[in-house]
Structure 1
């Protein structure tokens, strides 16, 4: 029995050795994949051998059966170079997606992510990637999120922030219960999960979802009421930064055990930092 290298559960950076690359190419590369171009993989191999390969530039994708969908030239480059290279590995992709992609259509990150709530995770990654300066923006909308971020950059952000995946069910449930914008809420939650206030997330979620037994100035109830009132505006792309700031302000008050009288955005205010992130945010 062939002992193939284990694939990650979700998108993840892995160090791929020449031996791993050879095993995947030999046993996981379908016959219908495009014919290899020696010009391409030799160029990749030279860059890798010279130490000039950029980790964030390209990735390798597998379908739900562990068969290679994309990345055969990069794997061949690793094999030929004889050096191990760190690369983004994306498992559980939809095979049908690549039939469209090879026809010249742009690859969409949400199509490549085989995870629950993948659409809001990809949308949140556009925001958090910019907040943490993970790439130079292509088109930065409202100084907040990149509307034309490359798929590889979005996937890079998802891999760097697994909290986007783990917190997505809370964002989705809160939206169903009270209309709170999912991507921006998810960005707040993902950051909060890395702070000393992470233990407060469960009660935060319970209040937003139930809306019951809360003081009139409870930050969760104040936030619910604001989104009930203005959910149409705050749910649009144009209201995304405003919705983020409202959620961040409410969370910050809740995390510190403070009541909240009013919740509003101010003209000219920047992006509100999530409390506790000053320890790791650039």
Structure 2
């Protein structure tokens, strides 16, 4: 269906589900004469989900005023054009123009909220680890937030890599024993290190947590000292720097090389695990 029907003389809005093509989206956007500024990241996020077939009809509607003005949905319509696919969308017409002031007033549901609704254990930690693993896989190894995964992309990653559940467990247990490293970074590092050596990764984070059975000069002792010193001196350590600490420690352990200090300037290149 390509025709938008707008009620002319009724106060009751009309609702229908339509297959919105890029051509129809472009036509409707010509009626977008009174709206907020576009957020390019939102368009990109929506478009990736649409192109990947992960967009779901969830009751959120494209909304039009009685005079045909587009009130809500400009980001979704731009995303349809960017993804170049037809997407089923709910369309509401016949709304009073002033209702636009009340639209999008609620708090956006996060990936952590979605996983919590699924009944996932440690939903917030799970979501934050998935986000950083996804960013790492995209080449954003310093977690600069150039591209943030959507909830659908996080869910797809978890389905593809169910072993991430184990990384969440490791992150939680390590944090319970040693609260000086972010759980999201511990879980991300565990997953990445496990790709190299699963057993070594488990041993590594057990020792990060308890510091036991380590001789003087052991890299994990240097790591523990560094992050405890950072905390004692109230240094704000960004996530990518914590990740670099763990990678430098891992590489030293893997090469059986003693390490007395962990150094990683915030602007230094990210080391790669070996």
Where on the TM-score scale, by shorter chain, does this alignment land: which range? 0.5 to 0.7
Matched with 1:259 is: 258
Q: Distance in 1 between matches of 2:177 and 2:210?
A: 7
Matched with 2:127 is: 122
CA contact (8 A) 2:134 2:154 kept: yes
1:39 counterpart (11, 18, 34)? 18
CA contact (8 A) 1:126 1:145 kept: no
Which residues of 2 match residues 137-176 of structure 1 at below 5 A?
A: 144-145=144-145, 149-176=149-176
CA contact (8 A) 2:129 2:187 kept: yes
Number of residue-to-residue matches in the alignment: 188
Q: 1:185 to 1:144 in 2, by over 3 A?
A: farther
Matched with 1:54 is: 51
Q: Distance in 2 between matches of 1:220 and 1:186?
A: 17
Matched with 2:248 is: 249
Matched with 2:189 is: 188
Quick check: 1:270 aligned with 2:269?
A: yes
Structure 1-normalised TM-score?
A: 0.55
4+ aligned runs moved over 4 Å, structure 1: 140-143, 146-149, 232-236
Cα RMSD (Å): 3.6
Alignment deviations for residues 242-266 of structure 1 (CA, whole Å, 9 cap, x no partner) = 1110011111222333322221103
Which residues of 2 match residues 216-255 of structure 1 at below 5 A?
A: 216-231=216-231, 239-255=238-254
Where structure 1 has 5 or more consecutive residues not aligned to the other structure, the ranges are 1-35, 44-52, 61-69, 72-101, 135-139, 276-282
Q: Over alpha carbons, which structure has the higher Rg?
A: 2
Structure 2-normalised TM-score?
A: 0.56
Q: Distance in 2 between matches of 1:266 and 1:244?
A: 12
